[in-house]
C-alpha cells in the first residue's frame, strides 16, 4: 500500500459518516492489501468493527423487486341502532346483541370460518 493510498485511507478513517462509495473503497482496499482485518485496521486507523459492518452490509442479498399485491379488506361490522352488531363472513351473517359472551362468539366464528357453508 503506497503512501498516497494510506493517507487517503487514514482520512477516510477520520470521517464519521460513510456512504456507499466510502464503504466500498475501504473494503476494496482491505481486499487488495492482503492483510488481515486487524492488521489493516492498525495500519489505516479504520476500525475492524466498521470494516466488519460494511462487509456484512455488502454481502446481504438485495430483497429483489418489490411488488404490491391487491388485498381485499372486509367491511367492518356495523352496529345497528338497537345495539346489535352484525358480523358477515361470506354468505353467513351473525347478529350479536349487547352483553354477548366474547369467548362464545370467538368459538362460533372459528367454526364458521373453518367449515364452508352448505
As a whole number of Å, the CA-based R_g of the chain is 31
Kindly state whether residue 71 falls inside one of the protein's structural domains: no
What's the pLDDT score for residue 77?
65
Same domain, 85 and 51: no
Kindly state whether residue 31 falls inside one of the protein's structural domains: yes
Instruction: For residue 112, count other CB atoms closer than 10 A to its CB.
Output: 15
Residue found under cell 473494503: 27
pLDDT in tens, the chain (118 residues): 788 888 888 888 888 888 888 998 999 999 999 999 999 999 999 999 999 998 888 776 666 677 888 888 887 766 555 678 888 888 888 888 888 888 888 888 888 888 765 5
Which structural domain range is residue 18 located in?
3-59
Residue ending a domain, among 31, 59, 87, is 59
Same domain, 13 and 45: yes
Lateral strand order in the sheet of 78-79: 78-79, 85-89, 92-96
Same domain, 55 and 11: yes
| Cα–Cα distance measured from residue 9 to residue 18, given in angstroms and rounded to the nearest whole number | 12
Same domain, 82 and 44: no
Kindly state whether residue 86 falls inside one of the protein's structural domains: yes
Written as nine digits, the cell of 98 is 349487547
Amino acid at each position: 500500500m503506497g503512501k498516497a493510498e494510506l493517507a487517503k485511507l487514514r482520512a477516510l478513517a477520520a470521517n464519521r459518516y460513510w456512504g456507499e462509495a466510502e464503504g466500498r473503497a475501504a473494503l476494496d482496499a482491505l481486499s487488495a492489501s492482503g492483510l488481515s482485518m486487524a492488521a489493516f485496521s492498525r495500519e489505516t486507523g479504520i476500525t475492524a468493527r466498521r470494516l466488519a459492518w460494511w462487509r456484512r452490509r455488502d454481502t446481504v442479498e438485495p430483497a429483489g423487486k418489490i411488488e404490491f399485491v391487491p388485498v381485499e379488506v372486509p367491511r367492518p361490522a356495523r352496529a345497528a341502532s338497537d345495539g346489535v352488531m352484525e358480523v358477515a363472513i361470506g354468505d353467513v351473517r351473525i347478529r350479536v346483541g349487547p352483553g354477548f359472551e366474547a369467548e362464545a362468539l370467538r368459538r362460533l366464528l372459528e367454526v364458521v370460518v373453518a367449515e364452508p357453508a352448505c
